[in-house]
Structure 1
Amino acid sequence: MDVAVAPARVTTAAAGGLVLVCALAASAAAAVPGRNERANGLGTEYGWNYPFTVWPMLACLAAAGLVIAWRRPGWARPAAVVAAIVGAQVAGFGVVAVRDWFNVNGAWSMGQHNLATVVTFAAGVAVCGAVATCVAVGVVWREPDDWRPGRPAQVGLGAVVAVGLPLELGLAFGDPDITSLGQYALTYSLPWGVALAATGWLDRTAALAARATVAGSAVLVTLAGWAWH
């Protein structure tokens, strides 16, 4: 047994398993609905406070965890790149959901015990997404020989996306308030912008995985937006 390689493979497999567990736990937490007992004997109304896009992202996060755990040579690092980006978006959706449940409570007058439940589970989504992201980054990380990026233009592009996209979305949808801009930043622009900036240092395969993930996520969000409107 190659003692220099085997521990790294075991650690990578364990990391993939943890990403998978985080994806499953976040999915279970996001599936918990809010509940409103309607007046006049109309029964119970249930609602979920996550956009459709969060479910394909959770499925993608789970799949990435499986690939990392599979220990297939050359596959773990690109899969970890995917998991880091998607996990960051899932964490952002969880943070936004915590705030939004209080807004729903104002409109629905949910029971306080139910509000506490769904807020706690939304925080769980955020924590699971953040943990998966940190673990995936640990798999991706390689100490660079030079801190100067090999592709400096990618770093600039990432900065533009991270900072400029929330403003563009806010103006496009007519809600350039600080709350909406923060939501766009947490769920879209920061994960995408950081990922694109990181391609300035990543090797070709990992950089392609990052760009493909950002592009796929953007297409998913665009299609969901068209379906919503």
Structure 2
Amino acid sequence: MTAWLSDERRTRTQSLALLITLLAVMVAGILALPGSASDYTDATVYPLMLPPAVLIIGVAGLVAAYRPSTARAVAVFCGVNGSQVAGIAMVATRDWLNFGGADESSRQRALVGSWLALAIAVIAVGAVVASVMVYRCGANRPSILPPQPGMVTAGLAVAAGLPISAYVFWDEAGLSAVGQVALWWSLPWAAGLYAAGVLPTKALRAVALSSLAISVAVTVGCAAAAPVHGFGLRLPYGFGSPLLHYAGPGPSDGSRRSAAPIFVRRSA
């Protein structure tokens, strides 16, 4: 059956979809600000997988604005990726302060970076909320598939299993890594699995699995690039530094560190 939307719902869907794209552009704009990179090096506290997630959200919003009939599929994509962006940003609010304390940036830049990361988190949550609204504006279809308990159980297992496994089996991981792995990966991926188990149509469940698969593939690709590039996102060295007060000399040893460590080392 062809999806059909009234003119009012079509207009609302397009407006919300454009809002999602605008929010993605806002996140990209914040990442381009001087305060999102160290004032000593080209390093940031963000992982390489952040820009692809933001790009997916922005492009998906444009797709729904152009073709409102894809609203529900787009909403699933944006919901999964938006939750990951929000989780990454929430972790970054803490990591920026650690960054400054470890002499990876000035303390002033670390404070600015932490506040900017919080702004990204708030915007990403807004994108998730807008995605839910886009989904509700989508064409109504009867629930033709029963819930799939296996997918729901898998989602719960991923949500709890990945952080615990990181703590138990990764010697370099501290207790804070449990929350970091949960926010970066396990909770967004669990949301994708849960959606694949409860969404009403086979097509939407396939979209949920596709969004999960893309996120996993991006993470694997970033991990593969880590030996050469490092796992952290870099911005041009000295990018925009005149726009913010330079609060002191660089690292005392004159080095340019590539990125902060992913995990906090366990205390003895």
Q: TM-score, normalised on structure 1?
A: 0.86
Change over 3 Å in CA distance of 1:173–1:222 after alignment to 2: farther
Please state if 1:115 is matched with 2:110: yes
Shift of 1:21: 0.9
Contact 2:57 2:78 in 1 (8 A): yes
* Alpha-carbon displacement from aligned partner over 1:185-220 (angstroms, at most 9, x marks no partner): 011111111221122221211111110111111111
Q: Aligned residue pairs: how many?
A: 217
Gaps of 5+ in 1: 37-43
Shift of 1:157: 1.0
Q: Which residue of 2 aligns with 1:39?
A: none
Q: Which amino acid aligns with 1:28?
A: G
Shift of 1:153: 1.4
The RMSD of aligned alpha carbons is 2.3
Please state if 1:193 is matched with 2:182: no
Change over 3 Å in CA distance of 1:72–1:139 after alignment to 2: closer
Q: Which residue of 2 aligns with 1:125?
A: 120
Shift of 1:178: 2.5
Q: How far apart in 2 are the matches of 1:10 and 1:144?
A: 19
Shift of 1:34: 3.4
Q: How far apart in 2 are the matches of 1:114 and 1:176?
A: 26
Q: Which residue of 2 aligns with 1:89?
A: 84
Q: How far apart in 2 are the matches of 1:200 and 1:109?
A: 43
Q: How far apart in 2 are the matches of 1:45 and 1:221?
A: 24
Please state if 1:164 is matched with 2:168: no
Shift of 1:59: 0.7
Q: Which residue of 2 aligns with 1:213?
A: 211
Q: Which residue of 2 aligns with 1:178?
A: 175
SS of 1:45's equivalent in the other structure is coil
Q: How far apart in 1 are the matches of 2:14 and 2:30?
A: 24
Q: How does 1:15-26 map to 2 (within 5 A)?
A: 15-26=16-27
The 4+ residue runs of structure 1 with deviation greater than 6 A are 142-146
Q: How far apart in 1 are the matches of 2:225 and 2:106?
A: 31
Contact 1:12 1:71 in 2 (8 A): no
Gaps of 5+ in 2: 228-268
Structure number with greater CO (CA < 8 Å, separation at least 6) is: 2
